[in-house]
Copies of this chain bind each other. A is one copy, B any other.
Amino acid sequence: MWFMRQAGRYLPEYRAVREKAGSFLDLCYNPELAAEVTIQPLRRYDLDAAILFADILVVPHAMGLPLKFAEGEGPVLGTVRSMQELDRLKPVVESYEVRQVCRTVALTRSQLAPHLALIGFCGAPWTVASYMVGGGSSDRVMAKVAAYQRQPWFCALIDRLVQESIDYLSAQADAGAQAVQIFDSWAGDLVASELEEFVLKPLAAIVAGVKSRHPGLPVIVFARGIGMGQRKAAAISGANAIGVETEYDLTELPKDVVVQGNLDPVALLAGAEVAATEVRRICAAVDPQRHIFNLGHGIRLGTDPSAVGAVVDAVRRCDG
């Protein structure tokens, strides 16, 4: 059991560190403080894993695109919309940004109790590319048009992100990450051949690439919102576990798939009783031996930390 965005603004101790760090990116690239916020939720809750504190836009930033997070607004990222702009980007592995993230991984691993796992992560090519094409905007229309048109520069951008993601995840594993998750937050944008081409194939390529360098490393693929496509993701991605969104009916996946998810983060806003009811519904739907308890999306700002505790307790009661 772990929760997406378990380290975050809903926790007062996170907000205190964040204030000390400066900007959100300052925190991401400060190994001591990033390790601290990564570990914070494990002090409060009986979770099984820590998830590295970083951002999916570290990769384009490390490739050389300017990046800013304006307070209260979304990210502003330099754009890539041609082969020339793509060719200018640098490999991530030698970058300051990735070095700092890997220091965070190493420091967290050294400070974390040995029985707790440390999970690394990256964004998936489709999701990261959609931000690179859209300049950080969450509007994926330009990326989607480029995908439909099979623009050569867009296909090359996806291929490049596959390679950079393999390098980035491998570096995290070298630094001490014991599992990795690939977040494809906007995978649900695509269907049919575009889903295959720009979501499922790149995910499978990253899983294969990471496993060729780190054969035993568990990889979790979270292609959010692809609904009926999750069966295909389970069949072809090569992942050890499949993350599913809140809207996914857990009973639809074949019984031999390890599934991660899918409690609604909004249920935590509705109070401990509602959240515990949802926990029981989810636990009844899956084989506990093949289930990583998690949310279907990140913990929301404004969530009462005690509601998270109530969920952890409810999950442990289901296990017992």
Please list the residues of chain A having a beta carbon within 8 angstroms of any beta carbon in chain B: 141, 144-145, 148-149, 188, 191-193, 225-229, 246-249, 252, 264, 266-267, 269-271, 274, 281, 300
- Contacting residue for A141 out of B145, B149, B225, B269, CB 8 A: B269
Contacts of A149 in B (CB 8 A): 270-271, 274
Q: Smallest distance from the beta carbon of A199 to chain B beta carbons, Å?
A: 12
> Across the two chains, which residue of chain B brings its CB closest to A285?
B192
Contacts of A248 in B (CB 8 A): 227-228
Q: Are B266 and A148 in contact (CB under 8 A)?
A: yes
Q: Are A192 and B274 in contact (CB under 8 A)?
A: no
In the complex, the count of this chain's copies comes to 2
Q: Smallest distance from the beta carbon of A270 to chain B beta carbons, Å?
A: 4
15 A–B contacts from the bound complex (CB under 8 Å):
A141-B269, A141-B300, A144-B270, A148-B267, A149-B270, A149-B271, A191-B249, A225-B247, A227-B227, A227-B248, A228-B228, A228-B248, A228-B249, A228-B252, A229-B249
Q: Are A188 and B247 in contact (CB under 8 A)?
A: yes
Q: Are B191 and A270 in contact (CB under 8 A)?
A: no
Nearest first, the 3 closest Cβ-Cβ pairs linking A and B are A148-B270, A227-B227, A148-B274
Contacts of A226 in B (CB 8 A): 247
- Contacting residue for A269 out of B145, B228, B252, CB 8 A: B145
- Contacting residue for A144 out of B247, B266, B281, CB 8 A: B266
In the bound assembly, the distance between CA atoms of A153 and B286 in angstroms comes to 34
Q: Smallest distance from the beta carbon of A246 to chain B beta carbons, Å?
A: 6
In the bound assembly, the distance between CA atoms of A269 and B145 in angstroms comes to 7
In the bound assembly, the distance between CA atoms of A228 and B244 in angstroms comes to 13
In the bound assembly, the distance between CA atoms of A246 and B229 in angstroms comes to 13
Q: Smallest distance from the beta carbon of A248 to chain B beta carbons, Å?
A: 8
Q: Smallest distance from the beta carbon of A181 to chain B beta carbons, Å?
A: 22
- Contacting residue for A145 out of B193, B247, B270, CB 8 A: B270
In the bound assembly, the distance between CA atoms of A149 and B307 in angstroms comes to 14
- Contacting residue for A246 out of B141, B145, B191, B281, CB 8 A: B191
